[in-house]
Amino acid sequence: MGRSKKIARSIARAITDTTGLAKRRSSHSNPLRLILSLFSLFFSIHHLILQKIRPADFANLRRNHWDVQDNDYYDSFQPPQDGDKPEESLTSIGDMGFSGSTFYSTKDQKYLVKSVPRHSEHSFFRQDLLTPYVEYMATHPRSLLVRICDFLGASGYSIGRILRLAPSHHIVMENIMYGRRSESPKRGDVDVDWENWDLKPTSYFYPERDIADGALTSEATKSQLADEFHDKIKLSREQADEFFGSLEEDTKLLAEYNAVDYSLFLVRMHKPPRAAAFSSEAVSEMVSEEAMPPTEGPSVPPGPPSWRTGIASADGKYLYRASILDFFWAKHKLQPQVMTGLIKLWNLLISKQGPMSITTTPEEYRQRFLKMCRNYVEVVGEVVEESSG
C-alpha cells in the first residue's frame, strides 16, 4: 500500500471511529499482542493513529449550527461498496502549495481533508485559535471562514511522524466546490461551467517572483503563488454590503489572533441561460435548485442564496461562492518570527522590497486583503475607483 493510501486509511478510521482509541487499545487483552502492536506502530512510516481533537466542539457545530446529521457526515467517509477498505472513501488530490499539504476529497465531494504539516500552524490552531473559532462560528452563520468539521492529530510517536514522512495533523472542511462534476460540465440538461481562484494581495514581496524577475524560480513553483482575478464581481448594493460586512468581521477575528496570509477562495459558475430574465435572488434560487444540491452536505444553513450555495451576480451572468481559507499562519509563532527576521535583513542589506504576506503585521495584512476584495467588486449602478491590492 502506497503513502497516499496509508494516510487516507488513517484519516478514514479516525473520522468513523465512534468508540475512541482508548477502548480500542483496551481490547488488546493479550499483553504480548499489545506490545507487538505498539512496536509495529512505532516503526510505521506512513501509517499513524489519528485522534479527533476537541470532537465535542466540532460535533456541536455540525449538529446544532450547520444542520449536518451524524449519519450523513460519517457516511461521507464510508467506502463506496461493502467490503471496500476504509481508504477507498477518500480520493487523493495530491500535494498542493508551498506548505506541502496533502489533500483528499470524499467520494461524494462534500468534504475536503487537508493536512497541516507545519508545527507552527497546527499548534496555533490547537492552542490559540480553536476556541475563538468555535465560538465565533456558532454565532456567525453567514461567516465566510471555511467551516472546519473535524481536527485530527496523531497519537503517540512513530518513525514516520518523527521524520515528518507522514503529516501528523489534518483538518476536515466543507468543499466549496461541492456540486461540480469532473466528468462533465452539465448537471442534468443544464450547462454549468466552473472557475475558481485562490486570491491574496499580490503587491507583497514574493521572492519566487521578484528576485531577478523570477528567473531563478521554475514556472511550476511560480504557478503556486496567489491567483489574480481579472474581472469584476457585479453585485447589488445589498449583496455588496453583506459581503463586505462578513469580510470585515471575519478578518477582525483573524487579526486579533495574529493570523496573516489567508486567502479568499472564489468560485464562479455560469448560470443557466433560461434564468437570464429573472432577478438576482430568483436566479440564485433557480440555479441552486437546477445546477447544484444546496440543501445537502455542509452547505447550509443559512439557506440559499448564500456565499456557500451561490450568490447570483447583479448582471445575471454568474453565480458566485466564496470562502476564507488558510488562516493558520500566526506572527507570534517561531517559524513566522524567523521568516520575519530574515526578510527584514534582506530589506536592510540587499534590496528594499518590503514585507512578504507572511511577514507583515496582522492588521496591515487585513487592510490590504479587504482592499483587494473591495477592488474585485463592482456595485451595479455605482462607479468604483480602481486601485491596486
Per DSSP, which regions of the chain are E strands?
50-52, 90-96, 101-106, 111-115, 148-154, 169-174, 186-187, 190-191, 194-199, 233-235, 259-260, 263-270, 311-312, 318-325, 329-330, 377-379
Measure the CA–CA gap between 131 and 150, rounded to whole angstroms: 13
Range 126-136 average pLDDT: 98
| Model pLDDT, residue 115 | 93
Cell of 214: 523570477
Helices 237-256 and 130-139 pack at an angle, to 10 degrees, of 160
Summarised one tens digit per residue, pLDDT across range 246-265 is 999 999 999 999 999 999 99
Is residue 132 predicted with pLDDT exceeding 80?
A: yes
Is residue 142 predicted with pLDDT exceeding 90?
A: yes
Measure the CA–CA gap between 129 and 254, rounded to whole angstroms: 8
| Model pLDDT, residue 104 | 94
Report the percent of the chain where pLDDT is more than 70.
69
Measure the CA–CA gap between 319 and 271, rounded to whole angstroms: 6
Contacts of residues 178-185 at CB distance under 8 Å and 24 or more positions apart, as own/partner, are 178/109, 178/110, 178/292, 178/293, 178/297, 178/298, 178/299, 179/109, 179/291, 179/292, 179/293, 179/294, 180/109
Backbone angles phi, psi at 104, to 5 degrees: -130, 150
Pairing state between β 190-191 and 233-235: unpaired
379 vs 214, residue with greater confidence: 379
Sheet of 90-96, strands arranged across:
50-52, 148-154, 169-174, 111-115, 101-106, 90-96
Q: Are 365 and 357 in contact (CB under 8 A)?
A: yes
The mean pLDDT value of the chain amounts to: 79
Is residue 206 predicted with pLDDT exceeding 90?
A: no
Pairing state between β 233-235 and 186-187: unpaired
Cell of 224: 503556486
| Model pLDDT, residue 290 | 45
Residue 94 confidence class, pLDDT cut points 50, 70, 90 = low
Q: Are 13 and 90 in contact (CB under 8 A)?
A: no
Q: Which residue bears the cell 518523527?
A: 162
| Model pLDDT, residue 297 | 46
From residue 50, how far is each of 55, 84, 173, 303, 348 by CA, in Å?
Answer: 12, 20, 16, 33, 44
DSSP lists the bridge partners of residue 312 as: 319
Range 60-86 average pLDDT: 89
Residue 102 confidence class, pLDDT cut points 50, 70, 90 = confident
Summarised one tens digit per residue, pLDDT across range 365-389 is 999 999 999 999 999 976 545 554 5
| Model pLDDT, residue 64 | 94
| Model pLDDT, residue 25 | 47
Measure the CA–CA gap between 319 and 327, rounded to whole angstroms: 25
